[in-house]
Amino acid sequence: MRTLQHLSLILLASLPLEAMAQETIDVGILKNKDISVVQKQLYPKKDTSELAIHAGVMPFDPYSITPKIEVSYGKFMSETLGWEVNLGGGYGLKNGAYRELEGPAYGIAPDAYRYLGSVIGDVQWSPIYAKMAYDGKKIFHYDVYGLAGGGLTVEESFMPDTDFSFAPSISWGIGSRIFLKDGTIIRIQMRDDILFQKRAKTAETQGIYLKQNMTFSVGYTFSLSQVKDTATNAVKRGTK
């Protein structure tokens, strides 16, 4: 019996290594359509409510610059579709061009209006959810969204009579949410509001004036219950 065992070991050692290796199967070149990765989002948005405060500025008006504060509340019906109501307030300040025109060199007061406040409702579509690495260590999850809606904007004339304008407005824009590990969210957004203003002193437009208010803002979400709970649970799982 011992002799048979020795002979078996000698025969196995003499076999070629290729005979013992598993046969390799060539599947050819994989196309993009043949590859799909399904990954559950760490920070879901469906059925969540979002309450945020934004600080922004309107830098492109020809006669004014406007610091602005906004408070928004929204809700997501799905991971990609939601709605939001935005209440904004600010105060337009005369810029260098306006002060130069009303100075002694020209003595002209342009028919310009300063922003005071607005109420805007919009629908948001966020088809992109992704993550990025910073410095090869920190990973941030974020989305990219577009918005479209409308509302009402209140402005006041710079002229001494301080005529008020209550302008119907249409709004569109783009933005991104950056999800943080503690469940809070940083929002970066650009929104463009088109105002249909009635200006009694602007005769060349028969009293109707189209004005563009473009706002760049950074927001902080301080109440988003489901997202916050998900992030907290993820941190707990990571510490176990």
229: Cβ–Cβ under 8 A, 6 or more apart, which residues? Answer: 183
Alpha-carbon torsion (49, 55, 59, 64), positive or negative: positive
Nearest to 189 by CA among 92, 68, 77, 93: 68
Question: What pLDDT sits at residue 26?
Answer: 63
Q: Tens of pLDDT along 114-134?
A: 999 999 999 999 999 998 888
**Which one of 84-88, 204-208, 225-229 scores highest in mean pLDDT?**
84-88
d(CA 150, CA 170): 4
**pLDDT over 50 at 46, yes or no:** yes
How sure is the predictor about 21, in pLDDT bands with cuts at 50, 70 and 90?
very low
Which has the higher per-residue pLDDT, 223 or 205?
A: 223
pTM over 0.85: no
Mean pLDDT of 181-189: 89
**Which one of 9-18, 19-28, 70-79, 135-144 scores highest in mean pLDDT?**
70-79
Q: Which segment of 96-105, 166-175, 194-203 scores lowest on mean pLDDT?
A: 194-203
Q: Exposure pattern of 31-48 as b/e (b: 16+ CB <10 Å)?
A: eeeeeeeeeeeebebeeb
Give the Å distances, CA to CA, from 195 to 61, 120, 151, 209. Answer: 13, 12, 9, 8
Mean pLDDT across the chain, nearest whole number? 82
Domain boundaries of the chain, sorted by first residue: 43-239
**pLDDT over 80 at 235, yes or no:** no
Q: Under CATH, which architecture does the 43-239 domain have?
A: Beta Barrel (2.40)
Residue 177's Cβ-side half-sphere holds a number of Cα atoms within 13 Å equal to 28
Q: Tens of pLDDT along 138-174?
A: 888 999 999 999 999 999 999 887 789 999 999 999 9
How sure is the predictor about 36, in pLDDT bands with cuts at 50, 70 and 90?
low
